[in-house]
Amino acid sequence: MKRIIYFITTICLSVASATAQQIEHVVLVSIDGFRPEFYKDNTMPTPNIQWLAEQGVNAKGVKTIFPSVTYPSHTTLITGTLPYQHKVYYNTTIGEDGNPGQWIYDSKSVKAPTLWQAAKQQGLTTAAVSWPISLHNDFIDYNIPEIWNFKQPMDRLSATLKYAHPQGLFEEILTKAIGEVDQDKYNLSSLAMDQNLGRAAVFILEEYKPNLLTVHLPNTDGAQHAVGREGIEVKRAIAGADFVIGSIIDALKRSEIYEQSLIVITGDHGFVNTSMSISPNVWLEDAGLAEQAYFFSTGGSAFLELKDKADKHTVRKVKQMLLDLPMRYQDMFELIEEDQLRARGSKQGVSLAISARAGYSFSNKKEGEILSATKGGKHGHYPNNPEIFTGFIAFSPVMKQSKQLEIIHLEDIAPSIAKVLKLALPQADGTSVLGGVIK
């Protein structure tokens, strides 16, 4: 009888201990161009992602920022703030001619506190693999930044070897995890890129067990730019990302930290199919307004940038010009006015933008035809179109229940992670969406 009582008592203590277990490790994976269909549609080649969605928390969609492009979105993901706070408005700077300038890559460009910073302030360890704008970040202990040789953009190897932190980390990953690789297997031209980034993430997990690991997988974005929302190339790319997710799950188990871990899978934007490109700067040229302003294209949208930031008169003239266009042109886009821009925290000083309707995108061209044929997919649109929504999944073995959320916001994700790890993000614009499902 005593043996039975002892056995039952031991089981109860074990269950109580497991129930009280706290999450000490978070892996945040951003799949570039991640769409809710990738876990909602069971015909998609994503068994790991679908399993996590079924067992954990998933959202019907995530309303992204404006413009819905990669670098500003990833900065919102890591800060919980909108662009008006973190100050990353586009993927690039704007050149003197109004065309895209230098890619924004240095962490000094981010003006809001990050999850990495909050984690370090709590004495936790941090890591990042290919996360946008992570170069020279003092709050990342193990950092494989997203960087390339600007004179030879296909060469990411030499730049990563130069800027990985600590020195020698990438050489260790190449030796022990990736193996001998040439630049064609470590750039966006190859589906091997996601696999090699996954191997780097798995190595860091097993070797260093960081409390916070952020990973960016870019291949699904490139596939959708090339062929649009559907097609075998998209399925191949998302299948590759799914394989990486499975590898991360296995690594957490091998490292014996699976029971104390939270896996978050999300993205930066969705995609819209396009077949025609609009050149709105040609309209400005024709209207005699090109000396006062220009439209800066982000693909699915274009922002009216003023030569004189206080020139509201030109804004009114441009708006009226757009409203006076023939209806066949007006049907191709929608006006985004100041209240909508402020609602999604867009760039201060910009009070007018245009967002393309389905089938259309924008270019920065200042002369030539208004319309030109294009193909593939674009993003950058104002996030009132569900096709531009990204997705969200969160799973931990200590979750109380599975749950489907309604539409959440991109800025909610960092506060959700912060709450789980007991971090402070006081400037965040979003709020945690994991209340009630994690002990």
Residue pair 32/220 in contact by the 8 Å Cβ criterion = yes
Name the residue ranges covered by the structural domains of the chain: 24-271+385-421, 273-378
**CB atoms < 10 A from the CB of 143, how many?**
27
- Rounded CA-CA distance 181/186 in Å is 7
Q: Which residues contact 332 (CB under 8 A, 6 or more apart)?
A: 276, 278, 356, 357, 359, 360
Which residue's structure tokens are 């020279």?
Answer: 136
Could you list the pLDDT tens digit for every one of the 439 residues in the chain?
A: 433 333 333 333 333 333 347 999 999 999 999 999 999 999 999 999 999 999 999 999 999 999 999 999 999 999 999 999 999 999 999 998 899 999 999 999 999 999 999 999 999 999 999 999 999 999 999 999 999 998 898 999 999 999 999 999 999 999 999 999 998 899 999 999 999 999 999 999 999 999 999 999 999 999 999 999 999 999 999 999 999 999 999 999 999 999 999 999 999 999 999 999 999 999 999 999 999 999 999 999 999 999 998 999 999 999 999 999 999 999 999 999 999 999 999 999 999 999 999 999 999 999 999 999 999 999 999 999 999 999 999 999 999 889 999 999 999 999 999 999 999 999 999 999 998 888 6
Q: Is the CATH code 3.30.1360 the one for domain 273-378?
A: yes
Report the half-sphere exposure of 35 (CA within 13 A, side-chain side): 24
Q: Alpha helix (H) ranges present in 22-69?
A: 37-40, 47-55
What share of the chain in percent tops pLDDT 90?
91
- Rounded CA-CA distance 225/203 in Å is 30
Cis peptide before 397 (omega within 30 of 0): no
**CB atoms < 10 A from the CB of 175, how many?**
12
Hey, what are 363's tokens? 């270019």
Q: Which residues contact 37 (CB under 8 A, 6 or more apart)?
A: 44
- Rounded CA-CA distance 211/117 in Å is 12
- At residue 62, the pLDDT reads 98
Three-class secondary structure of residue 414 per DSSP: helix
- Rounded CA-CA distance 66/122 in Å is 32
- CATH architecture, domain 24-271+385-421: 3-Layer(aba) Sandwich (3.40)
Which residue's structure tokens are 């040439």?
Answer: 182
Q: Which residues contact 349 (CB under 8 A, 6 or more apart)?
A: 306, 309
Q: In terms of Cα–Cα distance, which of 380, 397, 379 is closest to 438?
A: 397
**pTM for this model (two decimals):** 0.94
Residue pair 327/125 in contact by the 8 Å Cβ criterion = no
- Rounded CA-CA distance 358/121 in Å is 45
